[in-house]
Amino acid sequence: MMLAMFRVMLLAMLRDRGAMAMTFLLPPLVFVIFATVFAGASGEDIRLRLAIADQAQTPASHRLVEALLADSQLRASRAEPASDRTVRRQVRAGKADAGLVILTDPATPGTPFLIVTDPTRAMASPITQGRIQAAMNEHLPDVMLAKTLEITGPVLAPLSPEQEARSKAIVKSVRKAAEAGEPSPQPARMFTVEQISGAKKGRGTIVYYAGAVTILFALFSAMHAAMTLIEERQAGVSDRLLAGAAGMTPVVNGKFLFLVLQGVLQAGAIFLVAQVIYDIPVRANLVPWLVTSIAAAACAGGLALGVVSLSRTRDQAQMVSTFLILVLAAVGGSMVPRFLMPPWLQTLGWFTPHAWAIDAYHALLWRDADWTTLYPAWLVLLGVGIAGLLVAHITTRLVRRQT
């Protein structure tokens, strides 16, 4: 009996070639994609987009700018016009991951560099600082020596007996201050870091992941609900509906409308929590938020209906939908922020609905973008949803002809 059951299940899997392919061919492919994504997020392949404004306009600052523009680990570009306002605008609009404003001559004492970052790109600031220091070590060693002497000169220079006694007294006082929990003197700094927007700390990250979770679970829910197409086909309900004059058209359209409503309500639940707990300004941007949510829900619903209609069995549909959801989520930024990925993978992300939905929500609720910035994302999301809906209609008509 046991061997007979084993044989039955084995034959069933061998006959369903689609499910067999999903079981044995797609997992290695998913592994390759995830390995690429998370290897890129480790830091070796990160190439930040850096906007540079040289306000100092000195020989040393020119050398530094040229070194950064030639740095293969960065995608650096000059901000035009070269002002801190331009840099802030580019970082806030998402056109740059970080911005560098050279305030004064790097060779002179003081803090010559202003780093402008978006809080949603937490690693951008330390990576930028590291690349600047590496460029200065390689291309401006004289400037780095001057900065080092500025910090260490009083300690390393020959000391007179009076200076030595004073230094010992200073070391002793610093140690006592540290033991008492008091702040210790800090050496001269090269960098000042400024985060864009005066909003509450962390709100940009919350907006990002609110959008990421919204499109991710919209697809999960839509795929699950769209499985009723296969259940109705297997139960013979579709055959009776296809015998009618209207066919499956009203059924598919009705399911699509339900999935859109479900996705909008789901998005509403997520962003209601974001509004109440984290003070995300959803109510102040209600109309564009609603349009964005409708577009995202339509995309998820149409894509789900299209994918499920092309599947012959429920098992096949589940495997395909799970594969698509995981891959799209990984590449589109729902699991790892896209700025941490290699450049080619960031470009590939624009072929996923996740990247467009996340960027639309983020632009609306964090960057204060208007509809002229949002409408490309709306058109892409709606286009994907309508394309999936058309595939579902065509597939059901082909089923009718085959029967």
Residues 374-390 have pLDDT tens digits of 999 999 999 999 999 99
Q: 278 and 204 in contact (C-beta within 8 Å)?
A: no
Q: Residue 361 corresponds to which tokens in the numbers above?
A: 């929500």
Residues 358-392 as b or e (16 or more Cβ within 10 Å = b): bbbbbbbbbbebeeebbeebbebbbebbeebbebb
Distance of alpha carbon 377 from alpha carbon 257, whole angstroms: 20
Residues 131-162 have pLDDT tens digits of 888 888 888 776 665 666 555 555 555 556 67
Alpha carbon separation from 366 to 93, 114, 205, 228, 289 (Å, rounded): 9, 22, 9, 38, 12
Q: Residue 141 corresponds to which tokens in the numbers above?
A: 């060693």
Q: 52 and 102 in contact (C-beta within 8 Å)?
A: yes
Beta bridge pairs of residue 90: none
pTM: 0.71
Q: 115 and 194 in contact (C-beta within 8 Å)?
A: yes
pLDDT of the chain along its 403 residues, tens only? 667 667 766 676 677 666 666 667 766 776 776 666 666 555 555 678 899 999 989 988 898 999 999 988 888 999 888 888 899 888 887 788 899 999 988 877 778 899 998 877 777 888 888 888 888 888 877 666 566 655 555 555 555 667 566 656 665 665 566 566 655 444 457 888 888 764 455 577 888 889 999 999 999 999 988 888 887 776 655 555 555 555 567 778 888 999 999 999 999 999 999 999 888 889 989 999 999 999 999 999 999 999 998 887 787 788 888 888 888 988 898 887 887 777 888 888 999 999 999 999 988 888 777 778 899 999 999 999 999 999 988 887 765 444 4
Domain annotation for the chain: domains and CATH numbers: 48-195 (3.40.1710), 203-402 (no CATH)
| Burial class of residue 169, CB neighbours in 10 A (0-12, 13-18, 19+) | exposed
Distance of alpha carbon 400 from alpha carbon 220, whole angstroms: 28
